[in-house]
Structure 1
Amino acid sequence: MNITREQIDELNAIVKVAITKEDYSDRVDKILTDYRKNANIPGFRKGHVPMGLVKKQYGKAVLVDEVNKLLQDSLNKYLTEEKLDVLGNPLPKAQDNLDWDAEEFNFEFELGLAPDFEVDLNTKKPITHYNIIADDKMIDDQVDRIAKQYGKLISQEEVNDDSEITGTFKNEEKEIENRYTFTLDKIKGKTNAKKFTGAKAGDVLELKSKNLFEDDHQLMQALQVSHDEVHDLDIALTFSIEEINKREAAELNQELFDKLFGPEVVKSEEEMRAKIKEDAEKQFQQQSDQKLLNDITEYLVENTKFDLPAEFLQKWIQTTGEQELSDEQAKEEYEKSEQGLRYQLIEGKLIKDNNIETKYEDLKDYAKEFVRAQMAQFGQTDPDENVLEDIAGRVLTNQDEVRRLSEQLMSQKLTKLYKEKANLKTKEITYDDFVKEVYG
């Protein structure tokens, strides 16, 4: 067997594979011998079929199959040994006149090669890294919410400004019938609020869905409709009032602190406020890091210049799907995926140049932290280490979960790299201002 490469340009090459009879004859003869031992052909005892008949009946199919296997194995080995960084897969060049009765075969494959380029994280213009803080107002609001959430309900005769109202929303046409609890301050506008004020249990209110709540997401929960459906929803509703309560705030004492944070973790309102601030800013850190990751990704894709073997990639896209695409469809698909491919190459370059790797132990530790965070949401703030090990081990038997967690862990490692090496400027900002500045 002889394999040679013809370099067309920096991004394209042709690999030629010449296979001789010596390369495949032993493999084909062995398989045909096995066929002869087991063949059931009328007129012949098992194992006594003439080899000539076996070759006539099965020889061509076995030859084609074995040559193709040999071809793929040798091509993959060649690409590995030559350390060729190919994009997509090698594309066989069409051979309409291939003669399978010949003893030697010649094949050609087109290769699309990954470009050689450098990634510069030291941007001319610094990229903003937000340090999102929990301000006093946010902490005050959270303390109030907790006190009300854990407070006791006091029944009221009629709805007033501080009422918590429970009832059922209905609309027959949309088949809506959902029981929901909300506070009067979530209702939008004085006109709507006036319909509730003074109402009593058993009353049925006539309402409109449009502009009923301050937040459309609350309307989505109140009516149990989809995110897409809730926007611009304008239907008539009835609301049957079932309960009217006032929630008396809980006392900020040790009993409440233990219930929220575990025994003796927090011992005063001051410590509670500090813990709320700490927990909130941990959450904000995740959003800040994701924003940084998105911004640097966008910058690198726009500013890291290199060419791609576009013609080859379009041809590869055209021929490797379930259905063959037209030239125009393949070009359109390539244009859609080009930015993603560029970032994959940039990310791969950063990972290689900075020796970033994800070992199994790293992934297991990351899975344990993920499980720990999930358990904390259900009040299990101090899980046993053996329990964490066991659950994390089960999670890592699921390949989809392994892939998802690996991607998250790699994003975390890249974010750490960006914080160390990218040209960043830190901006301290409250969460509300961060939302306004980033999301408008």
Structure 2
Amino acid sequence: MATITQEKIGPLHEKLSIKLDKTDYLPGFEKSLKEYSKKASIPGFRPGKVPAGLIKKMYGPSLFMDEVLRSVDKEVVNYLDTNKVNIFAQPLPLENDMSKLDVSNPSDYDFHFEIGLKPDFKMQDLAKLDITGYNIDITDEMVNEEVERLQNRYGNMTDKEAVDADDNVLNVTFTETDAAGNLVEDGIKKDNSLLVKYFAPAVRTALNGKKTGDSISIKLGEAFGEKELEFIAQDLGLDKEDAATRDKTFQLEITKVGLLEKKELNEEFFNQLYPAGDVKTEEDFKAKVKDEIYQYWAAQSRNQIHDQLFHKLVDDTKIEFPETFLKNWLTTQNSQPQEGEDQQPAKTPEQIEAEMPSFLNQLKWTLITEKIITDNSIQVAPDEIRNFAKQQLFQYMGGAMGMTEDQPWVNDYIERMMKDRKYVEDAYNRLQSQKVFEWAETRVKPKATSIKAEEFAKMVSEHQHHHH
């Protein structure tokens, strides 16, 4: 009968020593030999009639090793389960000499493994965390800008021969050049659609009278104001905060000149946007738009609370880790390619050392969420995953008109997704994480602070930039 001993070799780092008696594996080995002899196909012998001695000579060593290792694995798993040893990852082999395994001379064998123990830790009192809840001011200007955006989005476009007003719409192609105006090889090239009024006054003057096919040269920092530069830079894949972005030069080719006739604010337009028919007047429309803007910024504010929660818990919760074991484990994982991936060069000890702080932060968050989930019995039901798949589908289809939940193809899609193991796992993790934050929200007591939308957006952008 196998015996297992456990001894400490470092902080939360222990050694398991397994003494395997030959009676633990021999019955299984002999059974494997018999089963193999029944199905072995060897030239000159009928199936099932191969002499046992030949089978043992040809396949015995590999079957012997397989059975010994299977027995060791079974004993270790049973020991950890029986003694409720809570570990990270899997036990790692230590000092095990496989050359001692001799099918001709079965014996007792010793095996050694290292394990990393999961730590106990105390959760912070969420009610005492210093969390700020941002109330974004929804101004009349924001409402009017959104109303105008919707009027433009659903408006009618007519072609024009040449640029003659600030409300002209230009389809343009941005092509990156150097300071001398020469095209940059493999540089940025991007189509866009812009109102003339988005450009700085000097560029508007240069555009006046231009027709389809005409081009001008621009420098981003001079061609746009701060607000416009932000979304133009983002569309071009550039960082607005990078000083080099402002100095980027482009050839701007006009591919079409148009005039946008804005939608009138009438009941026909209101019903187009809100088919329920509950918007009758311009005042109703603006109230609806204001509520949607409020809902958007309220969601952004909640995301900010979630972000603060994450950083407060990760940065301030004290958790010890078996770092030596985890480095050893990362080394073994690093040498094994993931399914479907090519073999990557092994990371050096220096690289693993450099990555440890980030890895331990991720691990800390995993332990914190596991504790919240366990202590509060947070679960995700299959119906919630089905509903998640349905909502994703509707969002992907853009809330297509006439699409309802009871259409057969919608249910077929959802059932197909429910059979996709990876999709179900990803959806489960996302929903579980969402529930963790929703639970945490009920415990925190954020300090309410009013803030302008521009200031809030800038704060979030700077925070994201800092953490990337």
TM superposition score normalised by structure 1: 0.87
Q: Which residue of 2 aligns with 1:163?
A: 168
Secondary structure at 2:442's aligned position in 1? helix
Deviation of residue 128 (structure 1)?
A: 0.9
Counterpart of 1:137 (choices 141, 147, 164) is 141
Task: Verify the 8 A CA contact 1:292 1:415 in the aligned structure 2.
Answer: no
Matched letter for residue 217 of structure 2: L
Equivalent in the alignment of 1:115: 119
C-alpha distance in 2 between matches for 1:300 and 1:167: 47
Residues 217 and 49 of structure 1: is their aligned pair in 2 closer, same or farther, counting only changes over 3 Å?
A: same
Tell me, yes or no, if the aligned pair for 1:13 and 1:111 is still in contact at 8 Å: yes
**1:186 aligned residue:** 198
Give the equivalent residue in structure 1 for 2:68: 67
**Displacement after TM superposition at 1:93 (Å):** 1.1
- Residue 237 (str. 1) matches residue 258 (str. 2): no
Residue deviations 1:365-387 (CA, integer Å, cap 9, x gap): 23333334444x34438623455
The aligned runs of 1:232-311 (5 Å cut-off) are 234-240=248-254, 242-245=256-259, 247-311=260-324
Match of 2:131 among 119, 124, 127: 127
In the other structure, the counterpart of 1:413 is 435
Q: Paired residue for 1:2?
A: 2
Structure 1 pair 99–190 and aligned structure 2 pair: CA distance change class (3 A) = same
CA distance in 1, matches of 2:36, 2:365: 50
Partner of 1:152: 156
Q: CA RMSD in A?
A: 3.0
- 1:357/1:5 CA distance change after superposition, 3 Å: farther
Q: Is the 8 A contact 1:315 1:330 kept in 2?
A: no
Cα distance, 1:62 vs structure 2: 0.5
Residue 24 of structure 1 corresponds to which residue in structure 2?
25
The TM-score with structure 2 as length reference comes to 0.82
Aligned counterparts of 1:131 and 1:373: Cα–Cα separation in 2: 27
Who is 2:391 aligned against?
369
Query: How far has the Cα of 1:243 moved from its partner?
Result: 2.3
Distance change (3 Å), C-alpha of 1:203 and 1:91: closer
Alpha-carbon distance in 1 for matches of 2:292, 2:80: 50
- Per-residue deviation, 1:236: 4.7
1:259 deviates by 1.0
Q: CA contact under 8 A between 2:170 and 2:193: conserved in structure 1?
A: yes
Residues 42 and 256 of structure 1: CA distance in aligned 2, closer, same or farther (over 3 Å)? closer
Partner amino acid, structure 1, of 2:56 = K
The one-character-per-residue Cα deviations of 1:105-144 (angstroms, maximum 9, x if unpaired) are: 2212111101111111335453012233533221111111
Q: Choose the corresponding residue for 1:105, options 105, 109, 115.
A: 109
1:208 equivalenced with 2:218 (yes/no): yes
**Matching residue's letter, 1:239:** E
In structure 2, do the counterparts of structure 1 residues 57 and 236 end up closer, same or farther at CA, with 3 Å as the change threshold? closer
The corresponding residue for 2:339 is: none
Q: Which amino acid aligns with 1:185?
A: K
Secondary structure at the counterpart of residue 439 of structure 1:
helix
Q: 1:70/1:142 Cα in 2 relative to 1: closer, same or farther (>3 Å)? A: same
> Take 1:219 and 1:204, find their aligned partners in 2: how far apart are those partners?
23
Give the SS at the match of 2:115: strand
Q: Which moved more, 1:69-78 or 1:148-157?
A: 148-157
1:369-423 alpha-carbon deviations (Å, 9 max, x no partner): 3334444x34438623455544333333333332332232122212211211123
**Residue 88 of structure 1 aligns to which amino acid in structure 2?**
A
Query: How big is each residue's C-alpha offset from its partner over 1:175-221, in whole Å with a ceiling of 9 and x where there is no partner?
Result: 7776543111111x322121012x14357232124333432543665
- What percentage of residue pairs aligned between the two structures are identical? 27
Correspondent of 2:415 among 388, 393, 396: 393
Distance in 2 separating the partners of 1:78 and 1:117? 24
Q: C-alpha distance in 1, partners of 2:100/2:285?
A: 82
- How many Å separate the matches in 2 of 1:134 and 1:389? 39
Trace 1:337-376 onto structure 2 (pairs within 5 A).
Answer: 337-375=359-397
The whole-number CA distance in structure 1 between the counterparts of 2:43 and 2:400 is: 74
Quickly say closer, same or farther: Cα 1:233–1:51, change in 2 above 3 A.
farther
- SS of the residue corresponding to residue 379 of structure 2 reads coil
Secondary structure of residue in 2 paired with 1:139: helix
- 2:371 aligned partner, one-letter code: K
Which letter maps to 1:192? V
